[in-house]
Homo-oligomer: A and B are copies of this chain.
Amino acid sequence: MALRMSDAHSLDTLIQALKRLPGVGVKSAQRMAFHLLQRDRAGAQALARALMEAAENVHHCERCHTLTQDRVCATCLDTRRDHTQLCVVETPADQAALERTGAYRGLYFVLMGKLSPLDGIGPHDLGLQKLFTRACDGIVQEVILATNFTAEGEATAHVIAEGLKAKGLQPTRLARGVPVGSELEYVDLGTIAHALVDRR
C-alpha cells in the first residue's frame, strides 16, 4: 500500500526496508516505521547502528560455522568441553536449546540453515564440506545429528549421514519418541510408531 504522499520518500524507503525482514508484511512494516519515528527515534538510531556494526563485524566461526565476531567462537575455544563429540544443529537458537538442557558438553557445528533446494540453499551454503573435513580430523569421534524433525531437517540429516558414511563414519541421530509429559492419546501416529520401533 502506498501512502499516497509523493513526498514521504524517506518513510516509504524505510517501510520497504522493514518489509525485507522475515515475517514482516506491509502493515507490520508501516506500524514499525510509525512507531519508531513517532515514539522511539532513539530506538531507530540504535537499530541502525546495531545493523551496521553487525553487518560489518559478524561472520562465520572458522571451526563451527556459527555467527561470531571473532575468528573462532567462544564455544569452540572452550577447553572444558568434550572435543570428541560434534553436534550438528541448524541454527544458534537450536544450539541454545541444547545448551539449556545441560546434557551435552561437546562441540557444535552450526549449519545456519537447512537444505532447501526451492530456496536455493544447497550443501555449499551449509558448509557441509567443512563439516566433513572437521569430522575426519582425528579428534572428533562421534557426530550427533540434531537437525529438526521436519521434512527439510530430516533431508538435511540424511544428506549429512550419507556424506559421513562415504568417509567411513557412522553418525548418531537424536532419538525420536514420545515427548516428556505427553499422553499417548494425543500424540501423533508417526511419533508413536517411531517410539515403538526405537523402544528400549
Q: CA separation between A70 and B10, bound complex, in Å?
A: 11
Q: How many residues of A contact B (CB 8 A)?
A: 64
CB closest residue in chain B, given A99: B4
User: Is B74 in contact with A6, judged by CB distance below 8 angstroms?
Assistant: yes
Mask of A18-29 contacts with B, CB within 8 angstroms, 1/0: 101111000110
**Contact (A55, B48) CB under 8 Å given A20-B40, A28-B23:** yes
Which A residues between 26 and 41 are near B, CB-CB below 8 angstroms?
Answer: 27-28, 30-38, 40-41
Q: Is A7 among interface residues, defined by CB-CB distance under 8 A?
A: yes
Which A residues between 110 and 127 are near B, CB-CB below 8 angstroms?
Answer: 112-113
Q: Is A50 among interface residues, defined by CB-CB distance under 8 A?
A: yes
Q: Is A148 among interface residues, defined by CB-CB distance under 8 A?
A: no
A139 contacts which chain B residues (CB < 8 A)?
none
